[in-house]
Amino acid sequence: MTDKNIGISTMAIHTGNMRDTQYHALTMPIYQSSTFYFDTCEEGGRKFAGQEDGFVYTRLGNPTTAVVEKKVAALEGAEAAAATASGIGAITSAIWSIASAGKQIIADKTLYGCTFSFLAHGISKYGVEVKFIDTSDIEQVKANLKENTCIVYLETPANPNLKIADLELIAKTVHAYNKDIKVICDNTFATPYTQQPLSLGCDVVVHSATKYINGHGDVIAGFVAGSAELISQVKLVGIKDMTGAVLGPQEAFYIMRGLKTFELRMQRHFENAKLVAEFLDKSDKVTKVYYPGLESHPNHNVAAKQMKRGFGAMMSFEVKGGKAAGMKFCNALKLCTIAVSLGDAETLVEHPASMTHSTYSAAELAEAGISEGLVRLSIGLENGEDIVADIKQALDQI
């Protein structure tokens, strides 16, 4: 099923499903096989040459994984998607497929710590120039575009301070300069439930499916979505030859199961997050709340324009007393758990400067707008009032 007009849940449950004509299994089987046999050498040759459809080796494709790729492509409104072994596998496979020595990548300076690390210390070792800017300021985007720019890379909302950039404006500006530059958006925080970067003019979407797409905290996975041509390049160059970051069929199965409740989960995540953000905003123990749904967020209007169904379930905040008070708050929580990652059923709390963003130096953290005292919350699926009560009792202790 590929109808663009069907709803999110119908898409997540039905798109791409294969009919099991042998045993009539309703649920997609897990094809836990590394390789696929050929009846003849000629058949193998034709499949390797792409002259005949079919599977040859799981690093190149697998029936279970192919179904979940179709679901994520449909959710993102993409022609195709490639599943990867992690979010970082998706990001690096996409970037390695596009960039080459002598080219320039423009990247936002506020990114998930390991993405920042890959750009600042990984790919830059191989003759690719990386320029870090603030993409929420379109003048900085314009000023840094060059003849050799091949990628503009950003997250919105950005990890961990929920900075918002205007995807439509960025894509329009970049493509007016050079239509071949690929605008890549990490859509992990927003999810396709509320934001579809491709429909706003971006070329590529990347995901850590470890988070909301799987949603149950039991899988590491990623996706790249975009045009059929680009995804074929990501599969045949980025994943096959460069990163080898292949998603296993077992993980693909778990993601498919998680996607059956994707829309329901996202609705509950968002409802709970709104409750928590409004509570934090009113608390006299809290000095600043970073949540795009609050009117006090500097880019609330841009978020309202591009996040069609709500503002996500991620937020950060600073408490009176800075880092020490922030740590005390985290340690005093009883229901919410101190852990990195996000998008799980459980509400998670972490301290970016010492955990997810410890790949940044102190100066880089300051430059990226990530304060030492920042506390990040991933609001889960528990009853919203219980999450608020736990946060309140922990704030009362500082």
Chain contacts with ligand PLP (rule: CB under 6 A): 86-88, 112, 115, 155, 159, 186, 188-189, 208, 210, 220, 222
Q: Round to whole Å and give the CA distance between 59 and 236.
A: 10
Residue 260 Cβ vs ligand PLP, minimum distance, rounded to whole Å: 21
Residue 91 Cβ vs ligand PLP, minimum distance, rounded to whole Å: 6
Q: How far is CA 64 from the centre of its chain?
A: 21
Q: Cβ(198)–Cβ(74) under 8 Å?
A: no
Q: Please list, in sequence order, all residues whose beta carbon lies within 8 angstroms of the beta carbon of residue 258, skipping any fewer than 6 positions away.
A: 213, 214, 215, 216, 219
Q: Closest residue to ligand PLP, Cβ-based?
A: 87
Residue 84 Cβ vs ligand PLP, minimum distance, rounded to whole Å: 9
Angle at CA of residue 338, ends 158 and 321, nearest 5°? 75
Cβ closer to ligand PLP: 92 or 149? 92
Instruction: Find where tokens 């596998």 sit.
Output: 89
Residue of 211, 268, 274, 376 with catalytic role: 211
Residue 89 Cβ vs ligand PLP, minimum distance, rounded to whole Å: 7
Q: How far is CA 326 from the centre of its chain?
A: 26
Report the SS3 class of residue 195.
coil
- In whole angstroms, how far apart are CA 339 and each of 163, 356, 394? 22, 10, 16
Q: Tell me if residue 203 is catalytic.
A: no
Cβ closer to ligand PLP: 119 or 145? 119
Q: Cβ(43)–Cβ(52) under 8 Å?
A: yes
Instruction: Find where tokens 């069907």 sit.
Output: 6
Residue 158 Cβ vs ligand PLP, minimum distance, rounded to whole Å: 8
Backbone angles phi, psi at 82, to 5 degrees: -120, 130
Q: Tell me if residue 290 is catalytic.
A: no
Cβ closer to ligand PLP: 87 or 226? 87
Cβ closer to ligand PLP: 165 or 395? 165
Strand 375-378: give its sheet, edge to edge: 286-290, 314-319, 375-378, 348-350, 337-338
Q: Tell me if residue 186 is catalytic.
A: yes
Structure tokens at 286: 């809290």
Report the SS3 class of residue 177.
helix
Cβ closer to ligand PLP: 61 or 113? 113
Residue of 108, 186, 203, 390 with catalytic role: 186
Residue 385 Cβ vs ligand PLP, minimum distance, rounded to whole Å: 27
Residue 111 Cβ vs ligand PLP, minimum distance, rounded to whole Å: 7
Residue of 112, 193, 254, 291 with catalytic role: 112
Cβ closer to ligand PLP: 93 or 145? 93
Instruction: Find where tokens 């998603």 sit.
Output: 247
Cβ closer to ligand PLP: 208 or 325? 208
Q: Cβ(346)–Cβ(217) under 8 Å?
A: yes
Q: Tell me if residue 57 is catalytic.
A: no
Interhelix angle 384-396/262-282, rounded to 10 degrees, is 30
- The residues annotated as belonging to the active site are 59, 112, 186, 211
